[in-house]
Structure 1
């Protein structure tokens, strides 16, 4: 069975991961909506934007399965039980109202709706197939991220983890709790400064602002499961979610790369270079 997760080991304190850029649609997906619509859920080309990172000694983890098949940036408790019809999901289910608001939008661990509110399935899912997705996709992905951060921290005494994403220029109806909101060029999230130091996070914001980009801090994306689960700022393990506006590098309708790609990648290279020279313990 082909692995749906890949990773490259690093030598630096920096770890990057891309959980939503996967384009391998498993044969057992069984979706009913049209594929072009479903593909708009992808963080398309994010893996290409950061393809320079491994050569700089940066650890890289990448999901090859699509986000709509299983969202690695959700906890395994974020189950939309309506997917099972009359069947009972026997494992723990999230009870936090704030988390459940995303599940109600159809954006739990297993997506029920596309970003524009179109049902993905015309069938009920089985408990067995969802558990298999968790075992094949979620567990190895999180294991790879955890191992890379642990190795970076062991080598250097600290780690900086960037959780790499892209976002549409304008939020769709079922994408966030702020439908129709026009996004900044970048959104930097650390769950209200609980997953990374304020100084380090604002250093990233300031660097991008100095490069001429508009930057939002913790709105509308604060960071979700990957930064929450794998961070511990008190022990010098910093995790930050980086959202890039797709209009900067691609055509959102055709998914084709545009002329802005090269300039954006150069900016990301400068950001990575900065972080490779940054020791958050010094602050």
Structure 2
């Protein structure tokens, strides 16, 4: 069985979480995928590569290895909906565009889904929680940067083209206001990429569950429009010339979180 995640420990009080870049499948899911789902279009393609600089800076990094078609690491274990608008659940049955994930009648059963929760979802969150606790014990606080991406046009989820940079802080509840202010200032200081804070994507379960600023844990989600670093159609190729323009700004965001947290501390 594929390990549920890859983890690298750094020296900074910052954990970069990448829950949706995995492509591993359980046998029951792989054999049941619809033709539309087989290319795994809702994957956060190349995000670990895009954020390689964060590990070089000294951040801890956790990357989920399994596809969200098996289980979504950014949804609560009780599968309670995070949004009132169209969304996908803990065990996605539709793609973002509304197409069925599985061949009718071949969906994973309750026992198979429970196994995915126990062996994939739980270990990822246990490691995430453990690392945040370690950072807080060592540094007095911990920062969580939840890194995501999505196709820039998905009519079922949002109208028109998604902004390039979509920050989510659960409406300001998942991090200290100074951290959000500095991130917004970084985004506003440039005109190459469009941005919004707490727009369509306010932060998923990871941001909402672990971002507890009163307890010294500050979490931010960043949802990137994929057109800025890759092709949005299969085979979802990496585009270095685009990524190289985006990565310096992403590094500014990471450094902004670190400097803001030092001021708070």
Q: TM-score, normalised by structure 1?
A: 0.85
Contact 1:184–1:245 (Cα < 8 Å) also in 2: yes
Note the 1:190-209 alignment, pairs <5 A.
190-209=169-188
| One of 227, 231, 236 as aligned partner of 2:211 | 231
Residues of 2 paired with 1:131 and 1:116: CA distance?
26
Q: Classify 1:172/1:5 alpha carbon distance in 2 versus 1 (closer, same or farther; 3 Å).
A: farther
Q: Classify 1:101/1:273 alpha carbon distance in 2 versus 1 (closer, same or farther; 3 Å).
A: closer
Q: Could you say which residue in structure 1 is the equivalent of 2:66? A: 65
Q: Could you say which residue in structure 2 is the equivalent of 1:277? A: 259
Q: Could you say which residue in structure 2 is the equivalent of 1:91? A: none
Q: Could you say which residue in structure 2 is the equivalent of 1:11? A: 11
Structure 1 residues without counterparts, runs of 5 or longer: 79-93
Shift of 1:198: 2.1
* Matched residue SS, 2:187: helix
Note the 1:67-106 alignment, pairs <5 A.
67-78=68-79, 94=80, 99=82, 101=84, 105=86
Residues of 1 paired with 2:245 and 2:220: CA distance?
22
* Matched residue SS, 2:147: strand
Note the 1:100-119 alignment, pairs <5 A.
101=84, 105=86, 107-119=88-100
CA RMSD of aligned residues (A): 2.0
Q: Could you say which residue in structure 2 is the equivalent of 1:218? A: 198
Shift of 1:225: 0.6
Contact 2:94–2:101 (Cα < 8 Å) also in 1: yes
Note the 1:251-266 alignment, pairs <5 A.
251-254=231-234, 255-258=236-239, 259-266=241-248
Contact 1:10–1:152 (Cα < 8 Å) also in 2: no
Q: Could you say which residue in structure 2 is the equivalent of 1:248? A: 228
2:146 matches 1:163: yes
Structure 2 residues without counterparts, runs of 5 or longer: none
Note the 1:130-209 alignment, pairs <5 A.
130-173=113-156, 176=157, 178=158, 180-209=159-188
Note the 1:24-39 alignment, pairs <5 A.
24-29=24-29, 30-34=31-35, 38-39=39-40
Following superposition, which runs of at least 4 residues in structure 1 exceed 4 angstroms of deviation? 35-38
Residues of 2 paired with 1:39 and 1:270: CA distance?
31
Shift of 1:59: 0.7
Residues of 2 paired with 1:253 and 1:126: CA distance?
31
- Please say which of residues 34-43 and 128-137 is displaced more in the overlay: 34-43
Residues of 2 paired with 1:278 and 1:156: CA distance?
14
Q: TM-score, normalised by structure 2?
A: 0.90
* Matched residue SS, 1:39: coil
Instruction: Deviation per CA, 1:201-254: give whole Å up to 9, x if none.
Output: 121121122233221010100001101111211122101111111111111013
Residues of 2 paired with 1:101 and 1:205: CA distance?
25
